[in-house]
């Protein structure tokens, strides 16, 4: 990670792997209740994949002071959110998943929460960046505290915006040399392997079936089955454990360039479009077919990989850029 090009390759590799995990996690989501191994994969993935994505996003937000930065972010993130919110509304109605056509720009469809929250995180930087590490401590308190408000949820993605903001701010605050020391130290790789393996084993043997909502961050503590005063402590411990796994994952990422590295530059395309493929597949498969493929792990991996290859291809970017990036 000494050269700029190596840093770019490193982060593109990380983003490609993370977008694959996003797709794979959504592919196995309807199947996780039928297979314990898939449930363990799902919960392990959802523990760290979005926090890692968000941390990387924050790392590349260091230019927020530049003139026109917020307008650029609005064009890159907020406008695609508005466009795809309408498209998904039409899609859900057309596919029969919604009885009536309702376009609500204030409640993000499925994966679109990330775009709305990402815009808010960039806005938050104008206040929290000045506070530096004190701001990070405040963001953690906010992430813990928001869970005690029963009304928060998917509306404007408020819950996730506050719950995941500490990862974005941490990425922003990390300097390149600090990140390098964390993930490229002498023993970072073996420690990362041990932690990732131990996390998978721990989740496979002891993760409660009714606790998936804790990983999603999309509702209050009361909305996850009953509020206790200790819930804030649980979320604080979750922050610590998640960050440990995030940096363990980042320690496993190679800096070399591969043929698939370029897809890391096109993750927005994969993120925005993969939902259509998955939702259509679910709509056309019967319950018996879902049961049949739930144990076909190799098929599920290959299917997810092919989605990433297709949606991360040059042709998809070329012909959908006017829609995604609003460029002719």
Q: Average pLDDT in the 280-295 region? A: 80
Q: Is the pLDDT of residue 245 over 90?
A: yes
CA distance 155 to 218: 10
Q: Give the pLDDT score at 327.
A: 64
Residues 107, 225: Cα–Cα separation, whole Å: 22
To the question of pTM greater than 0.85 for the whole model, the response is yes
The answer to whether 52 and 10 have CB atoms below 8 angstroms apart is no
In the 8-state DSSP scheme, what is residue 65? T
Tell me: the pLDDT tens digits for 138-158? 999 999 999 999 888 778 889
> Which pLDDT does position 112 carry in this prediction?
93
Map out the domains of the chain as residue ranges: 4-324
Quickly count: other Cβ atoms within 10 Å of residue 69's Cβ.
Answer: 15
Query: Distance between CA atoms of 139 and 141, rounded to whole angstroms?
Result: 5
Q: How confident is the model at residue 328 (pLDDT cuts 50, 70, 90)?
A: very low
Least confident span in 40-54, 183-197, 223-237: 223-237
pLDDT at residue 7, rounded to an integer: 57
Confidence (pLDDT) at 6: 52
C-alpha to C-alpha distance for 276 and 84, rounded to whole angstroms:
11
Q: Over the chain, what is the mean pLDDT?
A: 90
Predicted confidence band at 5 (pLDDT cuts at 50, 70, 90)? very low
Q: Which among 63, 48, 35, 25 has a CA at the least distance from the CA of 247?
A: 48
Inter-residue contact 196 to 124 (CB < 8 Å): no
């Amino acid at each position: 990670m000494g050269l700029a090009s190596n840093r770019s390759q490193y982060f593109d590799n990380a983003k490609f792997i993370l977008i694959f995990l996003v797709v794979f996690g959504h592919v196995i989501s309807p199947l996780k209740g039928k297979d314990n191994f898939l449930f363990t994969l799902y919960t392990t993935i959802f523990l760290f994949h979005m926090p890692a994505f968000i941390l990387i996003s924050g790392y590349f937000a260091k230019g927020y002071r530049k003139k026109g930065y917020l307008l650029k972010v609005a064009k890159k993130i907020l406008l695609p959110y508005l466009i795809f919110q309408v498209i998904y509304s039409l899609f859900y109605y057309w596919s029969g998943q919604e009885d009536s056509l309702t376009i609500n720009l204030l409640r993000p469809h499925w994966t679109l929460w990330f775009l709305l929250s990402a815009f808010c995180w960039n806005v938050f930087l104008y206040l929290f960046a000045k506070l530096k590490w004190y701001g990070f401590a405040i963001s953690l308190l906010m992430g813990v505290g928001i869970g005690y408000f029963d009304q928060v949820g998917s509306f404007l993605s408020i819950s996730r915006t506050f719950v995941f903001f500490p990862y974005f701010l941490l990425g922003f605050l990390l300097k390149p040399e600090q990140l390098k020391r964390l993930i490229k130290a002498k023993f970072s790789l073996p420690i990362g392997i041990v932690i990732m393996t131990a996390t998978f084993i721990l989740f496979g043997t002891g993760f409660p079936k009714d606790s998936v909502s804790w990983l999603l961050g999309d509702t209050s503590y009361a909305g996850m089955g009953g509020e206790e005063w200790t819930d804030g402590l649980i979320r604080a411990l979750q922050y610590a454990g998640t960050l440990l796994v995030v940096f363990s994952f980042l320690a496993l990422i190679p800096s070399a360039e591969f043929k698939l590295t370029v897809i890391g530059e096109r993750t927005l395309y994969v993120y925005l479009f993969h939902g259509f493929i998955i939702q259509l597949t679910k709509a056309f498969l019967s319950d018996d077919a879902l049961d049949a493929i739930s144990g076909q792990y190799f098929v599920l991996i290959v299917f997810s990989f092919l989605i990433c290859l297709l949606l991360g291809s040059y042709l998809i970017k070329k012909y959908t850029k006017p829609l995604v990036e609003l460029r002719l």
